[in-house]
Structure 1
Amino acid sequence: MTATVSFPIDSPTGPRTVTLAHERKGAGEPLLLLHGIGHHLQAWHPVTDLLAAEYEVIAVDLPGFGASDPLPDRVPYDLDTIAPALGALCSALGVTTPHVAGNSLGGLLALEMGRVGLVRSVTALSPAGFWTETERRYAFTALRAMRAGARALPLPLLERLSRSAAGRAALTGTIYARPARRAPEAVVAETLALRGATGFERTLAAGGAVRFTADVPDLPVTIAWGSGDRLLLPRQGVRAKYTVPGARLVRLPGCGHVPMHDDPALVARVVLDTARAAGSGPTPGAGEGAAADRR
């Protein structure tokens, strides 16, 4: 069940209050899950039960997405604000140094949380911030087109499109390698989430100058990329590996930009392997550019 929590944050305009929606499930060490731009916490539902078998899973709607309120006026949507705000969220929930897994924007935030010491392990799935300027412009153009389409479609037409494999591919083929497998009701829900994302423009504007250039030392880090990612191209994973040399670089065969839906079992295995490594030494395959091909 989705709940909300309000908590104070520091911002350039002084102390402010933020309200975020979240879901909690399972027991054990905490594992924070962060979605991408325009999405919502339900993006993680295909893997939640698999992860909750070993960890207390906390899936979050980022500010201005899903059921979470936008940030207060004049509070920036940049890494220096959002990452500490997520740390404050954890404190408000009684959680100390969770594991974190994030996708796209959430992957970038997960790496930043790791860099500043807020978490004990990081799994970043197709994280933003490792692009060239040309690649960034391409991704932002595609995201704006998806947003415009979501806002233009009347609900009856959206529901009709979602009922066919071709329609689901048209609606979500940019982010999924296997869009036809998506449930019609899930496609409708995530399209409506993209339509109603009050934080979309401010987040995209803040991301224009973002490049992740710092190492994330002294904790297990996995950077995983879908081989069929059409939004942030897989070659960006190689740059990420050079930036975070101790990370395990994993290929997700047959997966798109949001791999949790394309291969839930594989994604869950990657997240669990990384989290387990926090208690048992170096990340499996660290420094080897390992690929998570099916064995």
Structure 2
Amino acid sequence: MHFERHGSGKPLLLVHGLGSSLRTWDPIMPALTAERDVIAVDLPGFGRSSPLVGPATVGTLTDALERFIEAEGFQGIDLVGSSMGARMVLELARRGHPGTTVSLDPGGFWSDRQRLVFGVSITASVALVRAIQPALSFLTRTAAGRTALLAQFSAHPWKLHPHLVLTELRGYSASPSLDEALRSLIEGPLQQGAARGSLPGRVVIGWGRQDRVTPASQAATAQRRFPDASLHWFDASGHFPHWDQPAPAARLILDSTS
């Protein structure tokens, strides 16, 4: 798995979401690396990492992440995940990973109806972005274009940096594992929980109040399944708090894992 490592201090591992890459963390990377040794990974079949040999499901990607942590000697490292990556780090916590876990807007806690809406809307978004790839460079340079393209994901997409948006949306076509991982999210099992007192490390779940991908109502389900987790709300934030509220998101991560 390709990764980048910057900063110094206590190690911190960042795990991106579906169709994304380690570049998704760029808005908060300066704040994190000022205090921590930050390792940001590209999951298999995303960014610059080769796909897995075999199925690319939430489960197999989590297994690969677990193997990466062991192989690189990162046992006990603090974990931060976004979206699908947020679900993956929660699963590692459930499996007994001893570090602190910060999970930002995780998937896997939807009702049947919410899962259906997620599947239809995200599949349509992926198809649209793939169809307009030649125009993305132009569209992402304008506030109106960023708003139209990322209204589902951000509470104020017009404020996002054009290069961040362009990189993110190009991943929809460039990620060979996206379709299979998306199908796993839509059709696969929900995220299992952890009984009270069973988690060896601290777990913090962050949620954007304006999240349109994993709606804020799902936070209650996440807390029921992870009763030992603490819940933090981000105001004026969509699915990616590290984009919409970078300073508060970085502060939550640093304070939670200090």
- Provide TM-score, normalisation by structure 2: 0.93
Maintained 8 Å contact 2:109/2:222: yes
Shift of 1:226: 0.2
Match for residue 177 of structure 1? Answer: 155
**Alignment partner, residue 106 of structure 1:** 85
Q: Which runs of 5+ in 1 are unaligned?
A: 1-19, 277-295
- Matched with 2:250 is 268
Q: CA deviation at 1:83?
A: 2.3
- Are the equivalent residues in 1 in contact too, given 2:140–2:146 (CA < 8 A)? yes
User: How far apart, CA to CA, are the structure 2 residues paired with 1:218 and 1:56?
Assistant: 22
Q: Determine helix, strand or coil for the equivalent of 1:46.
A: coil
Percent identical pairs in the alignment equals 35
CA distance in 2, matches of 1:54, 1:165: 33
Greater relative contact order structure (CA < 8 Å, 6+ sep) = 2
1:119–1:22 distance in 2 versus 1, CA, 3 Å: farther
SS at match of 2:2: strand
Q: Distance in 1 between matches of 2:73 and 2:142?
A: 44
CA distance 1:180–1:77, change in 2 (3 Å): same
* Partner-residue secondary structure (3-state), 2:28: helix
Pairing partner for 1:162 from 131, 135, 140 = 140
| Alignment root-mean-square deviation, CA | 1.5
Larger Cα Rg: Structure 1 or Structure 2? 1
- TM norm structure 1: 0.82
2:39 counterpart (42, 49, 58) = 58
The match for 2:119 is 140
> Contact conserved, 1:87 with 1:118, CA < 8 A, in 2?
no
Query: Is 1:41–2:19 an aligned residue pair?
Result: no
How far is the alpha carbon of 1:121 from its aligned partner? 0.8
- The answer to whether the Cα contact below 8 Å between 2:133 and 2:170 also exists between their aligned partners in 1 is no
Cα distance 1:21–1:110, how it changes in 2: closer, same or farther (>3 A)? same
How much has 1:68 moved relative to structure 2? 1.3
> Equivalent residue for 1:121?
100
Shift of 1:268: 0.8
The total of aligned residue pairs comes to 254
Letter in structure 2 aligned against 1:120: G
Check conservation: 2:2, 2:49, Cα contact below 8 A: yes
Distance of 1:140 and 1:119 partners within structure 2: 33
User: What is the rounded CA distance, in whole Å, between the counterparts of 2:56 and 2:40 in structure 1?
Assistant: 22
What amino acid is the match of 1:172?
L
Gaps of 5+ in 2: none
